[in-house]
Amino acid sequence: MIIVPCVSPDGKPTKSGIATLSALKSGASTPKAVAEITGQPLFKVRSGLRELVNAGFVKQVDDKYQLTPEGSKIVA
Amino acid sequence: MEEKTDAIRLPLIGEKAPDFEAVTTQGTLRLSDFEGSWLVLFSHPADFTPVCTTEFIAFSEIYDELKKRNTELLGLSVDSVSSHIAWIRNVEEKMGVKIPFPIIADLNKEVSQKFGMIHPAQSKTETVRCVFIMDPESKIRTILYYPLTTGRNMKEILRIIDALQTTDKHKVATPANWKPGDPVVVPPPGTTEQAEERTKEGYDCKDWYLCFKKL
């Protein structure tokens, strides 16, 4: 069983997932920057980003993260 | 003929802790997610048990102090995530204490076996009270084991973290019963020349091998 902190079982981002997407929209691109903006612990941001990538809302390029078109729609 | 065994070698002080991915009350976490922070990984025997409940309340009470020390908490027991959620909701409802840290649901005992948390002579199904303190590189710096019947001392856990962080920062050691603000021990000299010099360096020396200094 995989439990995801940022994506609900119905595939939609949770409250903390939306906070992470909003942080990415505002220009944050690293887990540390997202943690600083959202106030979430770094471990939770790393885990959440992993799940948002798997769900298709975020893409990872090297060590940076950015919104996908699907993720952008959520925080439009 | 060489005998084959399935024995798992336990991680020891000074070694990098084995990474894992585990289901927790705050999502699926990997040990590597905690890199950059100190981490207290601790196991408890079971949810909805009395000593564990007092410990969880006590761990929550030192949570802010741990954060000041760039330290995260991660609990573990061989219970389901639903059981963990029900228990921490009960603790909040009945005792008024919110549990802010994640708890691993180690139903398949994968993590507890990696860290030697099950001691069959105590219980074949429950983890004993282990504490692994890891540094920001996930290196194991302290291991504590307590029996099922003895709740842990939170002040000692904080004291150990203070001592380790002081040691790392100032390249010193800490004497028995040390607490922040107390004099620290200067590492013993390695040569006779250093031993002769040591007494002239302004430290509070009882002899050449036991010198204290204030930070």
User: Do B23 and A2 lie within an 8 Å CB cutoff?
Assistant: yes
pTM: 0.90
Tell me the torsion sign for CA atoms A47, A53, A54, A57. positive
Q: Provide the percentage of residues in chain B whose pLDDT is more than 70.
A: 96
Residue-wise pLDDT for B27-80, tens only, equals 999 999 999 999 999 999 999 999 999 999 999 999 999 999 999 999 999 999
B26 touches A: beta carbon within 8 Å: yes
pLDDT at residue B125 in the model: 87
Residue B6's pLDDT is: 54
Q: So what's the architecture of A15-74 in CATH?
A: Orthogonal Bundle (1.10)
Please give the Cα distance from B34 to A35 (Å, whole number). Answer: 13
Q: Which helix (H) or strand (E) holds A32?
A: helix A31-38
The domains of chain B are located at 21-152, 171-213
CB contact under 8 A, A3 and B27: yes
pLDDT tier, B198 (very low <50, low <70, confident <90, very high otherwise): confident
Which residues on A lie below 8 Å from B72 (Cβ)? 41, 43
Which residue from B132, B143, B81, B20 is spatially nearest to A3, judged by alpha carbons?
B81
Nearest to B28 among A4, A41, A42 (CB): A4
Site of tokens 């021990």? B185
Q: Which class does domain B21-152 fall in? A: alpha beta
Residues 6+ away with beta carbon under 8 Å from A69? none
Give CA separation, A57 vs A35, B29, B116, B134, in Å: 18, 19, 38, 33
Q: DSSP readout, B123-181?
A: -SSS--EEEEEE-TT-BEEEEEEE-TT----HHHHHHHHHHHHHHHHHS-B--TT--TT
Stated as kind and residue range, the H or E segment containing A73 is helix A69-74
Nearest to A43 among B23, B33, B81 (CB): B33
Cβ of B33 within 8 Å of Cβ of A2? The answer is no
What's the CATH number for B171-213? 3.30.1020.10
Question: pLDDT-based confidence at B7, cuts 50/70/90?
Answer: low
Give residue for tokens 């997610």: B33
In this prediction, residue B4 has a pLDDT band, given cuts at 50, 70 and 90, of: low
What are the structural domain ranges in chain A? Answer: 15-74
Chain B residues within an 8 Å CB radius of A49: none
List b or e across A18-37, with b for residues whose CB sees 16 or more CB atoms inside 10 angstroms: bbbbbbbeeebeebebbbeb
Residue B2 predicted with pLDDT over 70? no
CB pairs under 8 A between A and B: 41
**Percent of chain A's residues with pLDDT above 90:** 75
Cα radius of gyration rounded to whole Å, chain A: 11
* Cβ contact A43–B37 (<8 Å): yes
* B114, pLDDT greater than 80: yes
CB atoms within 10 A of CB B60: 20
Contact state of B81 with A3 under an 8 Å Cβ cutoff? yes
